[in-house]
């Protein structure tokens, strides 16, 4: 894919917000790919964890916000535990989710879940799902 890089995009408030909410310095990533190599969810992801960091470094806001990968991540922290630079990738992904959720753009629409979907699963599943995927 063709990517246009500009100082303006890299220093955009969106990226600053991602760094602030995640508490991570995105620029230390050197793209070794260990996060994606260990991630159990890559099969379902459109962009991989290392690409999420790269896109964030380059300020590709729209690509990150519309990705399905941020919703497939279950914060299992395998990426964090294997990053040789000590970046908490799961926290970066959380920050991107939070930016959407804080605009009330819920990923899971609670009112659309059927009684069966809600009734079949234990409370721990519902609460954690809503905590992660709704505002």
Partner 1 sequence: MKLSYFPGCTLKNHAKNFEDSAICALDKLGVEVQELHRWNCCGTVFSFATDDLIHHVAPIRNLIRVKEQESDRVMTLCAMCYNTLKRANERLKNDPESLERINDFMYKEEVKYEGDVSVFHLLEFLKEEIKFENLANKVVKPIKNLKVASYYGCLLVRPKEIGFDDMENPVILDNLMEALGADPIDFPYKTECCAAYQTVDKPQIVADRTYHILTSAQEQGAEVVVVSCPLCAFNLDTRQKETVKKYPDFKNIPILYFTQILAIALGCPEESLRLDLHYIDPKPILKEKQLI
List of residues contacting partner 1 (CB under 8 A): 20-23, 40-41, 43-44, 72, 74-78, 80-81, 88, 90-91, 94-95, 98, 107-108, 113, 117-118, 120-129, 131-133
Cα-based distances in Å from 97 to 4, 86, 121: 24, 21, 23
Question: Residue 74: which of 89, 57, 64 has the closest Cα?
Answer: 89
- 9 or 132, CB closer to partner 1? 132
CB of 76 to partner 1, least distance (A): 3
Question: Residue 84: which of 22, 18, 37 has the closest Cα?
Answer: 37
- 8 or 116, CB closer to partner 1? 116
- 29 or 89, CB closer to partner 1? 89
Instruction: Give Cα 41 to chain centroid, integer Å.
Output: 12
Write out the two tokens for 121: 């699963």
CB of 41 to partner 1, least distance (A): 7
């Amino acid at each position: 894919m063709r990517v246009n890089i500009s100082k303006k995009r890299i220093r955009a408030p969106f990226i600053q917000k991602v760094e602030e909410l995640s508490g991570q310095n995105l620029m230390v990533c050197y793209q070794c790919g260990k996060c994606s190599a260990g991630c159990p969810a890559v099969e379902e992801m459109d962009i991989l964890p290392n690409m999420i960091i790269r896109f964030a470094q380059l300020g590709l806001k729209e690509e990150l916000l519309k990705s399905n990968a941020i919703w497939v991540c279950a914060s299992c922290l395998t990426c964090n535990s294997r990053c040789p630079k000590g970046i908490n990738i799961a926290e970066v992904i959380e920050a991107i989710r939070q930016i959407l959720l804080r605009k009330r753009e819920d990923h899971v629409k609670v009112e659309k879940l059927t009684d069966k979907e809600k009734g079949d699963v234990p409370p721990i599943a519902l609460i954690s799902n809503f905590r992660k995927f709704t505002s």
